[in-house]
Amino acid sequence: MPDAMTSSIALLRLPQDPDLPPPLRGRFVVHLRVAYNGPAAEGQQIVEPLRQAAPVAIDTVAEMPFSAAGSIHNDPPGPIPFWDTSTLVTELSADAVFLVYACSIVPPELAAAAVAEHTALESALGPWKTGHVLLNFTSSDSPERVATAFSAQTHVRLLELKARYDPHNLFRFAGLTR
């Protein structure tokens, strides 16, 4: 993949929900998301082999302005109950680190089962985990987990700056508190 392209894959077990497009209802699907910052024709050439790799349920790859890039992941427009976890892993490639992000959309009464599944996934990934997370892929407010998004030196510096410029803890986000 060229440096001008970024991609992610979501493995989705979708419910029989009438709000979902018919080809997705009640199915387990692989959602391949791509963005290419280059000529559209060149991007289409790069994406074509991906289209041929498996049956395509819905193809939303198209030229779009940057202001529409948020639509690539096709997230729900409003709040939903969910449980998520993420970790960075190595060993898939000699020169890259990959993000594994799991998100379960669950009603509160099923949250314990989702937590157990996510814990099992993280445990299975143990040998390949880097010990770090990407901050924008963790909804955890655990200061210990959030600290793994930064080097130790950077995390200490962020906490020092927060103490100096936000002494009343007005800006509380993802575990970056006092």
**pTM (predicted TM-score):** 0.65
Q: For residues 71 and 86, what is the distance between their CA atoms, to the nearest angstrom?
A: 21
What is the band of 175 on the pLDDT scale with cuts at 50, 70, 90?
A: low
Q: For residues 174 and 154, what is the distance between their CA atoms, to the nearest angstrom?
A: 16
What is the band of 38 on the pLDDT scale with cuts at 50, 70, 90?
A: very high
Output DSSP code: residue 19: T
pLDDT at 178 over 60: no
Q: What is the CA radius of gyration of the chain?
A: 19
Q: For residues 85 and 167, what is the distance between their CA atoms, to the nearest angstrom?
A: 30
Of 16-20, 74-78, 85-89, 168-172, the range with the lowest mean pLDDT is 74-78
Is the CB of residue 50 less than 8 Å from the CB of residue 34? yes
Identify residue 122 by its one-letter amino acid code. E
Residue recorded with tokens 């639509």: 71
- Spans of all domains in the chain: 1-75
Q: For residues 68 and 134, what is the distance between their CA atoms, to the nearest angstrom?
A: 23
Tens-digit pLDDT profile for residues 112-148: 988 898 889 889 988 888 888 888 777 766 888 888 8
What is the pLDDT averaged over residues 6-10? 84
